[in-house]
Structure 1
């Protein structure tokens, strides 16, 4: 076996159930895949996972699909799989949040187009959305985004435009540097 590896991004979706993380990760391991990064969530009873893994050069996209088809065949819940080769692999480091990362929160009345409205501000200001979560409760919609301002105008211009945008759209929007947000919102529990 060669020491050379190539990377694939693998996306999984299924009805949520116990054991699915183990089954998917075992199928990857069986192909000598080394999982470098993973995001997994359950939304309204649906399991979603996206992962980046390095495989020996002898492993093809089709091999990965076949390995995960075996998980699907043994499961009571259908598993949808997408596998994409990474064209220009970049080394995965422990640092996934860039230095110029901010947390943007947007709240307002729940309505059609809320996400499109907020994301339009980001697109218009060359702000890359790295992570996004939403929730709604009692007619209020809340978006929390981790954004990268590396390619955008100065922070002063972004903040000024954000205030005007929020006022025009009837939203409450706050932009805070990621490190400050973490320091203010992190709960440090004693180790027992």
Structure 2
């Protein structure tokens, strides 16, 4: 059972890194098999088809996001610091000139199964809901300053980080992500 879990997790880890670099339509099971050092039949054992793999990827990514934001919540009460730590979640893939899996899956949205599309929407909603809560709390406490509704600001914040990933990747310049992320934080403290 432990071997099964390790093999399935290794497949998911490998698939995620490939998706973050090439997109969901940019690989086959043969690519994963080559990187992991197993036969494609072994991948089919755990994930009978690519849609099953996609569903497992987005579900795991969502769980990891929930875990990451829960950790942020336990580490700090300051809303501004929470937002800084949130930007680190989005900066991690940029270090390898990739984007988060959500961004890459969104670019392939029309070709994804309904369940993967639904999982992606749930992931984005979780991001937006968390951001809205943090922004709203920060404004109530006087730590953050912005015009308009917190949910609008949350959308702008998330879209800016996702766009920053794409620019950093396109230019192969990490400083572009940092510039945008820093600008987002600075704009909320004026």
TM-score normalized with structure 2 length: 0.25
TM-score normalized with structure 1 length: 0.25
Counting helix residues as a fraction of each chain, which structure ranks higher?
2
Higher normalized contact order (CA 8 Å, seq sep 6+, divided by chain length): 2
Structure label with greater radius of gyration: 1
